Amino acid sequence: MAATSRGTTPVPPDVRPRLTVLSGPSGVGKSTVVAHMRKEHPEVWLSVSATTRKPRPGEKHGVQYFFVSDDEMDKLIANGELLEWAEFAGNRYGTPRRAVIERLEAGEPVLLEIDLQGARLVRESMPEAQLVFLAPPSWEELVRRLTGRGTEAPEVIERRLAAAKVELAAEAEFDTTLVNTSVEDVARELLALMKVL
Ligand SMILES: Nc1nc2c(ncn2[C@@H]2O[C@H](COP(=O)(O)OP(=O)(O)O)[C@@H](O)[C@H]2O)c(=O)[nH]1
Ligand SMILES: Nc1ncnc2c1ncn2[C@@H]1O[C@H](COP(=O)(O)OP(=O)(O)O)[C@@H](O)[C@H]1O
């Protein structure tokens, strides 16, 4: 059997964990849920995306994102290095292809935290992926969380809330919806969907 570039024997596709995509409006709590989940289960592999967005205080290159320039993003796209990419609220975001494929071939549970457009593209290119939608308990609570996070200027919050309306209307396209009332509960449900628990 052919070896992967990591030198391991690929796990046959029928027994690999499914690729899992987590999407949901900005501020719903995706990063919080994923961080909680990975604290207990570091074996879940989370793809680190490339973005042209500027780092928030405390964000580190290679941890939350690979922070790239517009030119670098152009090259990643032109060279086919991204599994998918999308423009969201004025910045571009994309999933590096190679690491995802390697981890899936190694049989590891792989999670992508990406926007609705990206989720649709993954569904097209990898129909076996499971799409999970993280929903807020209410619109008012979403506004409260996004505003309360305090990381965006008011006009950026407005753009993200406009995008959130579009994302919420697409919930039915997803295989599963989890409502983020309790971070612990949602993290457990996500782990179960990924067959980690
Ligand atoms: N399509 C796509 N969307 C991404 C990617 N990485 C992050 N996103 C999404 O881009 C949106 C904005 O992310 P970010 O600026 O970190 O804001 P936050 O999600 O509100 O913390 C979110 O919906 C992310 O899920 C990616 O690689 N591809
Ligand atoms: N279940 C929850 N209950 C209350 N607040 C939450 C919950 N989940 C996340 N938050 C808060 O909501 C804000 C946005 O969460 P974040 O994880 O940054 O969202 P996203 O990654 O989806 O943009 C943060 O201040 C976070 O602490």
Give tens-digit pLDDT for 90-121.
999 999 999 999 999 999 999 999 999 999 99
pLDDT the model gives residue 84: 98
Ligand 2 neighbours (beta carbon < 6 A): 24, 26-32, 145, 148-149, 180-183
Q: What is the pTM of this model?
A: 0.94
For residue 3, tell me if it sits in a domain.
no
| ipTM computed for the complex | 0.98
For residue 7, tell me if it sits in a domain.
no
For residue 176, tell me if it sits in a domain.
yes
Q: Are 84 and 97 in contact (CB under 8 A)?
A: no
Ligand 1 neighbours (beta carbon < 6 A): 26-27, 30-31, 49, 53, 84-86, 88, 93-95, 113-115, 117-118
Q: How confident is the model at residue 17 (pLDDT cuts 50, 70, 90)?
A: confident
| Closest atom of ligand 1 to CA, residue 65 | 6
Which two tokens mark 178?
């989890």
Probe target for ligand 2 pocket from 28, 30, 32, 181, with the most ligand atoms within 8 Å of CB: 32
Average pLDDT of the residues in 174-190: 97
Over its C-alpha atoms, the chain yields an Rg (Å, rounded) of 17
List residues bridging with 21 in a β-sheet: 112, 131
| Cα 159 to Cα 139: distance, rounded to the nearest angstrom | 15
Probe target for ligand 1 pocket from 28, 114, 165, 166, with the most ligand atoms within 8 Å of CB: 114
For residue 4, tell me if it sits in a domain.
no
For residue 2, tell me if it sits in a domain.
no
Instruction: Please report, for the domain that includes residue 182, its CATH number.
Output: 3.40.50.300
Tell whether 27 is in a known binding site: yes
For residue 185, tell me if it sits in a domain.
yes
pLDDT the model gives residue 2: 45
Tell whether 30 is in a known binding site: yes
For residue 182, tell me if it sits in a domain.
yes
Cα of 93 to ligand 1 centre, how many Å? 6
pLDDT the model gives residue 6: 56
DSSP-H helix ranges across the chain: 30-40, 70-78, 97-105, 116-125, 139-149, 154-168, 183-193
48-70: b (≥16 Cβ within 10 Å) or e: bbbbbbeeeeeeeeeebbbbbee
pLDDT the model gives residue 5: 53
Which two tokens mark 96?
């590096």
The domain total for the chain is 1
Has residue 16 got a pLDDT over 60? yes
Q: The dihedral of CA 137, 139, 143, 144: what is its sign?
A: negative
pLDDT tens-digit readout, 51-87: 999 999 999 999 999 999 999 999 999 999 999 999 9
For residue 8, tell me if it sits in a domain.
no
| Cα 70 to Cα 131: distance, rounded to the nearest angstrom | 29
Has residue 14 got a pLDDT over 90? no
Question: What CA–CA distances, in Å, run from 146 to 35, 49, 124, 184?
Answer: 17, 21, 30, 19
Domain that holds residue 78: 13-193
What residues have CB less than 8 Å from 16, skipping those under 6 apart?
A: 104, 105, 107
